[in-house]
Amino acid sequence: MKVGSTQYRSIWVEDGAVRIIDQTRLPHEFCVVTLDTTAQAATAIRDMWVRGAPLIGATAAYGMAIAMREDASDAGLKRAHDVLMQTRPTAVNLRWALEDMLAHLAPLSPADRADAAMARAAAVADEDVAINAAIGDHGLAVIRAIAARKSGPVNILTHCNAGWLATVDWGTATAPIYKAHQAGIAVHVWVDETRPRNQGAHLTAWEMASHGIAHHLITDNAGGHLMQHGQVDMVIVGTDRTTARGDVCNKIGTYLKALAAQDNKVPFYVALPSPTIDWRAQDGVAEIPIEERAGDEVSFVQGKLADGTVTRLRISPDATPAANPAFDVTPARLVTGLITERGLTPATAAGLAALFPERVGS
Ligand code: MRU
Confidence (pLDDT) at 212: 96
- Give the number of the atom of ligand 1 that is nearest the alpha carbon of residue 291: 1
Domain with residue 143: its CATH number is 3.40.50.10470
Residues 226 and 350 in one domain: yes
Rounded Cα distance, 330 and 246, in Å = 9
* Ligand 1 contacts CB of residue 238 (under 6 A): yes
Domain stop point among 100, 127, 154: 127
* Ligand 1 contacts CB of residue 326 (under 6 A): yes
Confidence (pLDDT) at 331: 98
Residues 238 and 112 in one domain: no
Cis amide leading into 196 (omega within 30)? yes
The question of whether 240 is a catalytic residue gets the answer yes
Domain stop point among 127, 155, 183: 127
pLDDT tens digits, one per residue of 187-239: 999 999 999 999 999 999 999 999 999 999 999 999 999 999 999 999 999 99
Beta strands in 58-202 (DSSP E): 154-158, 187-192
b/e map of 223-260 (b: 16 or more CB within 10 Å)? Answer: bbebbeeeebbbbbbbbbbbbbbbbbbbbbbbbbbbeb
Q: What is the pLDDT along the chain (362 residues), one digit of tens a residue?
A: 989 989 999 999 999 999 999 999 999 999 999 999 999 999 999 999 999 999 999 999 999 999 999 999 999 999 999 999 999 999 999 999 999 999 999 999 999 999 999 999 999 999 999 999 999 999 999 999 999 999 999 999 999 999 999 999 999 999 999 999 999 999 999 999 999 999 999 999 999 999 999 999 999 999 999 999 999 999 999 999 999 999 999 999 999 999 999 999 999 999 999 999 999 999 999 999 999 999 999 999 999 999 999 999 999 999 999 999 999 999 999 999 999 999 999 999 999 999 999 999 88
Domain total of the chain: 2
CA–centroid distance, residue 199 to ligand 1 (Å) = 9
* Ligand 1 contacts CB of residue 233 (under 6 A): no
Interstrand relation of 11-14 and 6-7 (parallel, antiparallel or unpaired): unpaired
Sign of the CA dihedral running 80, 359, 331, 227: positive
Is 360 inside a domain boundary? Answer: no
Is 89 inside a domain boundary? Answer: yes
Residues 61 and 165 in one domain: no
Residues 85 and 162 in one domain: no
Confidence (pLDDT) at 361: 86
Confidence (pLDDT) at 80: 98
* Ligand 1 contacts CB of residue 250 (under 6 A): yes
Specify whether the CB–CB gap between 146 and 179 falls below 8 A: no
Is 207 inside a domain boundary? Answer: yes
| 186: containing domain | 137-355
Confidence (pLDDT) at 295: 98
* Ligand 1 contacts CB of residue 165 (under 6 A): no
Residues 71 and 205 in one domain: no
Confidence (pLDDT) at 362: 86
Neighbours of 10 (CB within 10 A): 26
Domain stop point among 93, 127, 161: 127
Rounded Cα distance, 116 and 148, in Å = 48
Confidence (pLDDT) at 275: 97
CA–centroid distance, residue 307 to ligand 1 (Å) = 31
- Residue from 240, 247, 278, 328 carrying the catalytic annotation: 240
Specify whether the CB–CB gap between 54 and 6 falls below 8 A: no
Is 192 inside a domain boundary? Answer: yes
